[in-house]
Each structure stands twice: as C-alpha cells, then as structure tokens.
C-alpha cells in the first residue's frame, strides 16, 4: 500500500489535485454503492413479487377442487301409484360443476334411484368432461318401478303403502364419479366425487316437494 502510494504520488501534481482526485474516487464509490443498494432493492422487490405470483398461482390456479355431482329438481313425465306400488318416468337434470382452472374428465358412471335400500331405477352417465370453470349438464331419462321391491323387501312395501297413501314418494338418488382434473394441459390429478340426494315427490301434483343433497 505505502509502496503503491509512493509510486503514485510522485506522478501527481503538487497543487492539491490528489485530494480532489481522492474525493472524486470517494464520490464515485458512493455512487456505485447507491447503485448497488438500488439494484438490491429492485431485486428484492422483484423477488417478493415473484413469490406472490407463485403463491397466487399455486393457491388459485393449481389448487384442485372437488367437482360437484348433483341432481336438480326432476321433471315427472309419468307417475302411476297404486297400493304399495308405483311406476314412472322422470327426466333428472344431473350437473357436474367444475370450479377448476382446467377440464374435469370423468369416467362413465351410473346414477341409482332407490326406495330405502331397494334400487327402483338407474340411469347411465356416459364418459365425458366438464370444461374449465363450467357446469356440464346432463338430462338423464330414467324409468322407475317398484316391481323389484315388491318381491324382495316386504317391510319396504308396507312403508311404501303408507307413504303413497299420504301422497308422497321419497327417493334417494346417488352415485359415484371418478375422473381427472387437468391443469395447464399437463398436470393431471385424480378426483372423485359423489351424489347423494333425497327427493320427496308429491304424487298427485307430479312435482318435487323437496330436494336435499349431502
Ligand atoms: C326444488 O323444488 C323445491 C320445491 O319446489 C324448492 O324448494 C327447491 O329450491 C328446488 N331446488 C332446486 C335445486 O331447484
Ligand atoms: C306398474 O307396472 C307393473 C308392470 O308393468 C304393473 O304390474 C303394476 O300394476 C304397475 N303399477 C302401477 C301403480 O301402475
Ligand atoms: C330389477 O331386477 C332385475 C334383476 O335383478 C334388474 O335387471 C333390473 O334392472 C331391476 N329393475 C330396476 C328398476 O332396478
Ligand atoms: C360410492 O363410493 C363409496 C365409498 O367409496 C361406496 O361405499 C359406495 O358403495 C359407492 N356407491 C356406489 C353407488 O357405487
Ligand atoms: C301435493 O300437491 C297438491 C297440489 O299442489 C296439494 O294440494 C297437496 O297438499 C300436496 N300434497 C302433499 C303431500 O304435499
């Protein structure tokens, strides 16, 4: 250091210029330091911004929601009720609501209609998909009949007689659905969902009195 100083000073003019050179150097250093601080702040802000973008992306876009598999109030096309027996046909509006940022591709499945434990009708849902943040609407036609129940479940038959006598018919509508949510065209996540609804039908009015889903 001293050796260097000795080498430099003899070359410097004697009019005090070295002092101002030193000042200039210090100012330049200070300016450089400020520049570095500024750059560090920019990088820091950018990094924070990136983290926020990644978090939002991860929490909103990449989050996989369970699609909703539901049935709405069905339309009764025909319904004939006798003493402890019934026959009918319905159009059941089944909905697959997909809240994901990508399509939900589901497998074929079956929706069951039952009176108590006894299946009285069934309808198939074909393999398809519910698009990006939308609801797939499927109107299922189903024929229901108490004919199977009559033979297999005497307790249910007597319960059915009582219920039909008071003018209502309570059916459970249920089914499972399996499929995959596809995100960013490449990420696939298996997601299954189910429907389990209880519907009370007013037999004489041929209309839905109440509908509740789990
Ligand atoms: C179904 O009909 C019942 C009775 O009319 C009504 O209270 C209920 O809100 C309807 N549900 C749907 C999903 O439309
Ligand atoms: C339902 O249909 C079956 C067979 O077709 C018939 O035996 C039964 O009487 C019908 N029940 C009613 C309530 O119409
Ligand atoms: C009644 O039972 C038969 C034989 O098990 C079955 O093939 C048919 O689908 C059943 N009917 C209904 C309405 O569930
Ligand atoms: C739906 O899945 C549940 C649980 O995995 C199972 O207990 C039930 O029997 C399934 N129901 C149908 C209709 O496949
Ligand atoms: C069925 O609907 C009719 C006509 O709307 C009404 O008079 C009757 O009270 C209803 N029955 C039941 C059990 O809700």
Give 207 Cα–ligand 5 centroid separation in angstroms. 9
Tell me how far apart the alpha carbons of residues 203 and 186 are, in angstroms, rounded to a whole number.
49
**pLDDT surpasses 60 at 7:** no
DSSP 214: -
| Ligand 2 touching residue 203 (CB < 6 A) | no
pLDDT at 140: 95
The answer to whether residue 1 sits within a structural domain is no
| Closest among 89, 90, 86 to 165, alpha carbons compared | 86
Domain end: 30, 45, 61, which one? 61
Q: Are residues 126 and 187 in the same domain?
A: yes
**Do 104 and 40 fall into the same domain?**
no
Contact residues of ligand 3, CB 6 A cut-off:
119-122, 145, 148
Distance (angstroms) between ligand 3 centre and the Cα of 149 equals 9
Number of domains, the chain: 2
Residue span of the structural domain in which 149 resides: 68-213
Q: Which ligand is nearest to the CA of 172?
A: 4
Give the three-class secondary structure for 190.
Answer: strand
- Structure confidence by residue, pLDDT tens digits, 109-129: 999 999 988 999 999 999 999
Q: Which of 63, 100, 93 is nearest to 76 (CA)?
A: 93
pTM: 0.77
pLDDT tens-digit readout, 62-119: 889 999 999 999 999 999 998 888 999 999 999 999 999 999 999 999 999 999 889 9
**46 with 152, same domain?**
no
What is the DSSP track for 85-130? -EEEEEEEEEEEEE-SSS-EEE--EEEEEEETTEEEEEEEE-SEEE
Q: Is residue 206 part of a domain?
A: yes
Q: Which residues sit with their C-beta closer than 6 Å to ligand 4?
A: 112, 174-176, 194
Tokens of 172: 């459970």
């Amino acid at each position: 250091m001293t050796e260097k100083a000795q080498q430099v000073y003899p070359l410097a003019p004697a009019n005090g210029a070295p002092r101002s050179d030193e000042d200039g150097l210090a100012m330049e250093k200070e300016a450089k330091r400020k520049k570095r601080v500024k750059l560090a702040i920019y990088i820091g802000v950018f990094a924070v911004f990136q983290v926020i973008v990644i978090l939002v992306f991860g929490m909103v876009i990449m989050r996989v929601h369970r699609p909703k598999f539901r049935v709405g109030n069905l339309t009764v096309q025909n319904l004939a009720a006798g003493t402890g027996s019934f026959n009918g046909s319905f159009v059941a509006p089944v909905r697959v609501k997909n809240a994901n940022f990508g399509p939900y591709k589901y497998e074929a499945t079956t929706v069951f209609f039952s009176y108590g434990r006894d299946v009285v009708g069934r309808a198939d849902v074909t393999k398809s998909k519910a698009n990006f943040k939308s609801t797939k609407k499927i109107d299922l036609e189903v024929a229901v009949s108490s004919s199977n129940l009559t033979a297999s479940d005497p307790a249910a038959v007597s319960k059915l007689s009582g219920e039909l006598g008071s003018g209502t018919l309570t059916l459970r509508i249920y089914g499972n659905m399996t499929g995959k949510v596809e995100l960013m065209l490449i990420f696939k996540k298996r997601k299954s969902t189910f429907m389990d609804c209880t519907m009370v039908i007013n037999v004489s009015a041929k209309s839905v009195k109440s509908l509740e889903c789990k």
